[in-house]
Chains A and B, each alone.
Chain A
Amino acid sequence: MSQVAAMTTAVEPAESPLTPESWGKLGMWIFLAADAMSFGALLAGYGALRFGSVDWPVPADVLGIGLTAFMTFLLICSSVTMVLALAAIQKGDQRGLRIFLGLTILGGSLFLGMQAYEWTHLIHRGLALSSNPFGAALFGTTFFIITGFHGAHVTGGVIYLSCYLVRSLVGRLGQADANAIEIAALYWHFVDLVWILVFTFVYLL
């Protein structure tokens, strides 16, 4: 048997899973790849509409760059607390897990609060799904749909992580569940990654 293995080292055995830890992790990666296509299609559509338009406003003139740059900073921080939460549960450190999971949830919630503030502010200035006093109406449409779709993902992530925080608090999340936290972390980092792209394409470019 070892002879066979030695002869076929270059070829992976067909049974070897892509993610040895769990199938759930592979499932999350495939889901994220599909979800990335949704965001990708929205951003590609945004690009096509924007470059076909002659009266598209300069985003930095309409949107608050300072606030959203801080929101980007918040999400990056929450990604760091998420990796620390994962490191904590892998070491069996329940206290660290709760603190860092709590901080991640706090970061996500603050992000959502600031997005709500930003939206309210823009809506008061007349920006809406179908109208925009600063130029092309589709600017409003694409802005609210893309940031709204991302905000929905953040909301989902906050609920997702809160479930694990509650499970940890009632003592039903042990070191053996580290893989579940790793999968949740993948989702959270993905939301951060998408925001980095949304921030660049919708706010800065």
Chain B
Amino acid sequence: MTAAHKHPNYFAVFWWLLALTILEVGVIFLPIAKLLIGILLVGFALTKAALVAMYFMHLKFERRTLALIAITPLLLCVLLVFALLPDSSATPHRTTAPPQASTTSH
């Protein structure tokens, strides 16, 4: 497969990327559950990223080991998100300065 190195149809990939971008922008205005919107957005974004990597970066036509190198950061980042999960959910915090206390409580 690497020897042939045939050119994929780049314009088909372009139209897919464009369509998915329009869908992404459209989906945030849909009157559906926030969680569902989030899942759809992440799904669309990962699909677009995979299209760019596989066709524009020719990953589909490379050796599989190279794809393993390319996918490693994604796996590590998923791990990182889970590692950070306790930190993000344990202590809800306001990051704006609290309004000046007008009443002194003690």
**Interface residues in chain A, defined as those with a beta carbon under 8 Å from any beta carbon in chain B:** 18-20, 26, 29-30, 32-34, 36-37, 40-41, 43-45, 47-55, 60, 65, 69, 72-73, 76-77, 79-80, 82-84, 87, 132, 135-138, 185-186, 189-190, 192-193, 196-197, 199-201, 204-205
Contact = CB atoms under 8 A, between A and B. Distances in A.
B99 interface: no
A65 B57 contact: no
A44 B81 contact: yes
Nearest to A47: B81
Nearest to A30: B69
Q: Say whether chain B's binding surface is mostly helix, strand, loop, or mixed.
A: helix
**For B87, B88, B89, which residue has the most chain A Cβ atoms within 10 angstroms?**
B88
B14 A48 contact: no
Given A51-B88, A53-B95, A54-B94, A196 B18 contact: no
Given A29-B66, A30-B69, A52-B92, A87 B21 contact: no
A48 B56 CA distance: 31
A146 B45 CA distance: 17
Given A37-B76, A69-B25, A189-B52, A84 B94 contact: no
Contacts of B18: 73, 76
28 contacts: A36-B77, A40-B80, A41-B77, A41-B80, A43-B77, A47-B81, A48-B87, A49-B95, A52-B89, A55-B96, A69-B25, A73-B18, A73-B21, A76-B17, A77-B14, A87-B7, A137-B95, A137-B97, A185-B56, A189-B53, A189-B56, A192-B56, A193-B53, A196-B17, A200-B24, A200-B41, A205-B38, A205-B41
**Chain B: interface size category:** 35 or more
Q: Say whether chain A's binding surface is mostly helix, strand, loop, or mixed.
A: helix
B7 to A, nearest CB: 6
A80 B55 CA distance: 11
